[in-house]
Amino acid sequence: MMSAVNKTSRKMYTSTLNKDGPLATNTGQTMEKVKETLIAKLKATNIEELNNLKVVLMPDFFLDHFALVKDIDFLSDIRNVYEEGGGNLLEVPQVLTLGGCAARTSLALARLGVKTSFIGRTSKLGYTLLNFFIQDANADVDITRVRNDGVLGKTLTFEFEEGGVNVMINEIGSNRDFGFSDLNEDDLKLIARSDLVCVLDWSLNINKGTELAEEVFKYAKGKGVTTYFDPADLAPRVDELKTLFDKILFNNNLDILSINEKELRILSGMNFDYNESEKVLLAANRLKAKVKPEINVHTSGFVATVGAEDIVVVPTFKVEPCKFTGAGDVWNAGNILGLLLKFTNEERLLLGNAMAGYYISHPDTLPPTIMELLPFIRETDLKGKKKKISKRVLNT
């Protein structure tokens, strides 16, 4: 027998996606109307209101080093140089930038005007670099609670233009073992005074990620603070999924779980193609039947929020991407701002999509400000008509 949650969600699948006309929401609004209301609400939001919002994020920061290459033939070039006894590959464009899910989301939120505090551990050089990146972005992120007695995390990324594929080589540094015991009394007071606390990149906090998330969320919920979790790439830690479910996802202390389609496939246990939107939603629905938090799924074609009684789906923007890393972190920032400002589900998902769409389609590495977002939302088209979901799939 299908549960009440699944019955409600199945109804929402049909009403949200079974549309051959203009893109519409499950409330009957067109997406163009949602655009209008979102723009109006963003315009009406004043700086003082944004500055009164307080978000604490933890714990990962990396120095990201990108090598921008055309296609997989680049690996043959490396092999040829190696076989010749070493040498140079000239004119390979490279970028050094701020990395890490928590650090990048902190920066994106601060660019939107939110009062943001980042807690983590790095080296003295890492702290200097972190401070430089934040100041260079004209972002007001409080990093006074970042420890500088650790090891700088570093990521070397080969970004392949063909196919939009990234291959990342990590030195995790102190990001691997930041736990709840590393938080002091001032950190806990900061969390208690915040509106929302995020624990991000559980996948790379190998030694203490579960402890950090479990204990932070328990403490925060005791203070009435909203809790937000994005585990990032789960593939390296699939053997620990049972612990993740038992300690975090089955727990009433977590409000929002933010994942992409790859992470959804791992958590749901369903094997689907990322382009199969109906199966993505079915997997999200099945996962929600097992876990406590609301599930927010962000994909390249659409995003969805799956709650206890409904599903809301919003398409992404039509853009030509010029970079392929960090979209999920910037999306989280927009989604979080929408949550804090109590926007409708459609509006906050669209805000997240606008943040990510703007970010990946602009060569500048900085996330957008609200003033930069407004014309983007107004002038950029959304992706095409939603596909009809078959009854066979819905009843699976």
Mean pLDDT, 10 residues at a time, over the chain (396 residues)?
Answer: 35 39 58 95 93 96 93 90 92 92 98 97 98 95 98 93 83 97 97 98 96 98 98 94 96 96 95 85 94 95 89 94 88 98 96 97 90 96 57 32
Which pLDDT does position 6 carry in this prediction? Answer: 39
Which pLDDT does position 23 carry in this prediction? Answer: 53
Strands (E), the chain: 54-58, 62-69, 94-99, 115-118, 120-121, 141-142, 146-147, 153-160, 165-171, 196-200, 226-230, 256-260, 294-298, 302-306, 311-315
Q: Tell me how far apart the alpha carbons of residues 133 and 131 are, in angstroms, rounded to a whole number.
A: 6
Which pLDDT does position 88 carry in this prediction? Answer: 92
Which pLDDT does position 387 carry in this prediction? Answer: 36
Task: Find where tokens 């090598």 sit.
Answer: 67
For 287-327, the pLDDT digits (tens) are 999 999 999 999 999 999 999 878 999 999 999 988 878 89
Which pLDDT does position 4 carry in this prediction? Answer: 33
What is the pTM assigned to this prediction?
0.89
Which pLDDT does position 384 carry in this prediction? Answer: 72
List the one residue out of 289, 316, 311 whose CA is nearest residue 301: 316
Which pLDDT does position 161 carry in this prediction? Answer: 83
Which pLDDT does position 3 carry in this prediction? Answer: 35
Which pLDDT does position 386 carry in this prediction? Answer: 43
